Structures are given as structure tokens and as C-alpha cells.
Amino acid sequence: MTQAIDRLNNTLAAHTSGQTTFSKLRCRECGHEYEAKALHVCEDVCFGPLEVTYDYDTIRNTVSRQTIEAGPNSIWRYRAFLPVTSENPIDVGTGMTPLLQANRLARRLGLKKLFIKNDAVNMPTLSFKDRVVSVALTRARELGFTTVSCASTGNLANSTAAIAAHAGLECCVFIPADLEAGKIL
């Protein structure tokens, strides 16, 4: 774990592009704050989950519609809003799925307009989970992990395995013993 923390510290020190706005982690339960290199729980106080905090002044001063539009045609055009520091995120084309106008549902809800994101065409596994996994595995790689894992009965397992394979990470998927065969094969 020390090597992973050292590697992350080197990544943070080397990052000078100004695009990273991920500043620290804060415990959702007790408010204790950690450097951006912390792993996942408030280990000093209450073992609560950690949430990302951002440098909003940097966002205000450096991020614009133009900088976002100039980014890659994937989730990574929003990198300033994601909890990563890497200049080389795992990009498999995730994101940029279409918005579909839902006129009938809008009328039923009393809205003028309503758009629904169609993540059924998300890459690489046609699931909204590809968004989360792309970011999570990029972060895992930043922290020096070479193996990732998840427990899942379907979409999360597919997404984790596909994106890990693309990134050259080892992957272990844990499934329930009674999972139907159609989801395994």
C-alpha cells in the first residue's frame, strides 16, 4: 500500500495542467478530511465513506463550455469534475450517449420539456455502469493497483471486466453461487 501512496503522490506532484480540481476527501459521517491520496474510508475516526471535494475556485477560473467541448468525445471531457488526477485516464469511449426527448412523460409530470439519457448505448458494455467503472478503474490505477474486483450479478461485472481488460488490469469478479447460468456464460 505504501508503494501505491508514493506513486499517487508522484502523480499529484507531476500534474501541472490545471485541469485537476479534485482537492481532498471528506468523511460523509464525521466530516474528517483527508488528502486526495486516501483510499476509501475514514480510518482515523469512524470508518465512514469518503466523498470527493473539489477546488471550486479552480473550476470557476479554468473550466468553461469551450474547454469542455474541446475535450475528448467521452466522459473524460468532464475530467475536471471527476475524482482523478491522471493525464492518461482509461478511455474506452464511455459517455456521450444521446438525450431523448420524452414529451408524453413531460406532459404527465407537468413539465415543458424532459430529456432522458439513453445509456443503453454506452460503451463498452451498453450499461450506465460503464461511467462509474471507467472513473473507478482510472482512480485504482492512479493508486497503483494492478488488480481490481467487484461483486455483481450482471452489469457491474461485465463493465469491470471489459474496462479492466482494456486497461491491462487483472480482474476478479465475485458472483453468487446460485446465479442463473445465462448470466454467467
- Residue 142: inside a domain, yes or no? yes
126 touches 154 (CB < 8 A): no
- Residue 141: inside a domain, yes or no? yes
80 touches 59 (CB < 8 A): yes
- Residue 43: inside a domain, yes or no? no
pTM: 0.81
154 touches 160 (CB < 8 A): no
- Residue 126: inside a domain, yes or no? yes
- Residue 32: inside a domain, yes or no? no
- Residue 48: inside a domain, yes or no? no
Q: Could you read off the pLDDT of 62-89 as tens digits, one per residue?
A: 999 999 999 999 999 999 999 998 889 9
Query: What range does the domain containing 83 cover?
Result: 2-21+63-184
Amino acid letter at 85?
A: T
The C-alpha atoms of residue 101 and residue 162 are separated, in whole angstroms, by: 30
- Residue 51: inside a domain, yes or no? no
Number of domains in the chain: 1
Give the three cell numbers for residue 157.
461485472
- Residue 27: inside a domain, yes or no? no
Q: Could you read off the pLDDT of 91-106 as tens digits, one per residue?
A: 999 999 999 999 999 9
115 touches 105 (CB < 8 A): no
